[in-house]
Amino acid sequence: MRRRYLWIGVLGLVIVSVLFGGVQKAFTQLPKPKACIIDIDGTIANENERRAIATNPDGSTNWRKYFNPELVKKDKPILKSREVLRWVEQKGIKIFYVSSRETTVLKASKWWLKAHNFPQGEVYHRRPFTRSLEYKIDTVRTIQKSYDVIFGVGDRDRDITAYQTCGIAAIKVKESSEEDWIRVKNEIAKLIK
């Protein structure tokens, strides 16, 4: 009699573990949500005036001025980029703003994105004294753990190298350009159809 209960118990445990394993497998196989990576300076924010203010007479850049939060807030938005990003958001693609701006201006960047009605998204900035390319690659790879990152848009070769290293489609946009975003939209449309 006792033996029978023991077998029923063992059988029960086996059934429960198989069922639980199946449920767990089903969850781990869920497709990851779609996402994209967007650079900020020169891509969606026109930083020409800030760069001019931060350029020393010898042509070098005064980074303290360049990363001054009050100046960052005065950047002009590239309006066509906002229109395209709203369309991207409507397509169910989450936006990650990954910029080499230093973390000291994170608050100003978030303020700027909101003030200019850019779609909501997570904002990543670079810790001071870390290298821009490595920082971008590491950040995209971290996002890829939870998201199916389809493409990235940036205005610098460094952005393109970072995106390609992570195996995502890389779209280069002309620096601080409204018109070039029309082409960018077409490229995105081909990738997500």
- State the residues that interact with Mg ion by CB under 5 A: 39, 41-42, 155
Least gap, CB of 47 to Mg ion (angstroms): 8
Tokens of 122: 């997570």
Q: Nearer Cβ to Mg ion, position 94 or 136?
A: 136
Q: How far is the CB of 57 from Mg ion (least distance, A)?
A: 24
Is residue 149 within 8 A of residue 190, CB to CB? The reply is: no
CB 97 within 8 A of CB 123: yes
Shortest Cβ 40–Mg ion spacing (Å): 7
Name the nearest CA neighbour of 149 among 128, 130, 121: 121
Alpha carbon distance 120, 134 (integer Å): 25
Nearer to Mg ion among residue 75 and residue 155 (C-beta) = 155
Instruction: Between 41 and 180, name the residue whose CB sits nearer to Mg ion.
Output: 41
- Pick 94 or 156: Cβ nearer Mg ion: 156
Beta strands in the chain (DSSP E): 34-38, 45-46, 76-77, 94-102, 122-126, 148-154, 169-172
CB 109 to Mg ion: min, Å: 13
